[in-house]
Amino acid sequence: MKMFSANLDNLRKLYINQLRTLLSTEQQITEALPKMIDKSTDVQLKQAFQSHLQETREQVTRLEQILNKAAGEASPIKCKVTAALVSAAEDMVKDAADDDVRDAALISAGQRVEHYEIACYGTVRHWAQILGLTSDAELLDKTIREEGHADHLLTQISNRVNEQAKVA
């Protein structure tokens, strides 16, 4: 039960609130990706996760920059959706008995997170545009492109990995 209301009575407050939630998302992903790298066996998948870990660290920095400017601080609000996605991914990976099946599960988990992030970033970018925060919108758009690229790369890898998992 929440003790205090966030008092989201205007778009700017909602925008900051959701940026803080996205900061939590990126921080949780920064913690989860090394485990995903460790559990993956496909070389391309490991490389994709390692590359995205670096991008995610840059995305954290971008969000902190935007939040420091907009709110004077960059404190996260725990994203329960990301926590649930990470937990579900851990369960899937733990249950996968075959390396190829585990890699397929890791790709699935990664894409779920990417799709969630793309949706969230698209929303806050639109709000930044409405609020006249052009530089914020540009930074957020850069992150959307990175998330889209990561999703596309995972799709390409999945075309091969899923076939291998099919015969496992």
Q: Considering the domain boundaries, does residue 87 fall inside one?
A: yes
On the question of pLDDT at 1 being above 50, the answer is no
pLDDT band at 7 (very low <50, low <70, confident <90, very high): confident
Instruction: For residue 41, give Cα distances in angstroms to 5, 8, 104.
Output: 45, 45, 10
Return the SS3 of 147. Answer: helix
> pLDDT tens-digit profile of 28-45?
999 999 999 999 999 999
Residue-level pLDDT at 167: 79
Q: What domain range is 72 assigned to?
A: 11-166
Rounded Cα–Cα distance for residues 2 and 154 (Å): 37
Comparing CA positions, the residue from 138, 140, 135, 134 lying closest to residue 120 is 140
Residue-level pLDDT at 168: 62
- For the segment 69-94, the average pLDDT, to the nearest whole number, is 96
Q: What is the mean pLDDT of the chain?
A: 94
Residue-level pLDDT at 6: 58
On the question of pLDDT at 4 being above 60, the answer is no
Return the SS3 of 56. Answer: helix
Q: Considering the domain boundaries, does residue 103 fall inside one?
A: yes
Comparing CA positions, the residue from 82, 108, 85, 90 lying closest to residue 165 is 108
16, 7 in Cβ contact below 8 A? Answer: no
On the question of pLDDT at 3 being above 90, the answer is no
Cβ neighbours for 9, distance < 8 A, ≥ 6 positions apart:
none
Query: What would the two tokens of residue 43 be?
Result: 């070389």
Q: Considering the domain boundaries, does residue 2 fall inside one?
A: no
Number of structural domains in the chain: 1
Residue type, 37: I
Q: What is the CATH number of the domain that holds 46?
A: 1.20.1260.10
List the single range of 4-8, 66-70, 86-90 with lowest mean pLDDT.
Answer: 4-8
- Which residue bears the tokens 């190829």? 100
Rounded Cα–Cα distance for residues 100 and 96 (Å): 9
21, 70 in Cβ contact below 8 A? Answer: no
Sign of CA dihedral 82, 88, 91, 96: negative
- Which residue bears the tokens 């939590």? 24
pLDDT band at 2 (very low <50, low <70, confident <90, very high): very low
109 phi and psi angles, rounded to 5 deg:
-65, -45
Q: Considering the domain boundaries, does residue 159 fall inside one?
A: yes
Q: Considering the domain boundaries, does residue 112 fall inside one?
A: yes
> pLDDT tens-digit profile of 96-111?
989 999 999 999 999 9
DSSP code, position 23: H
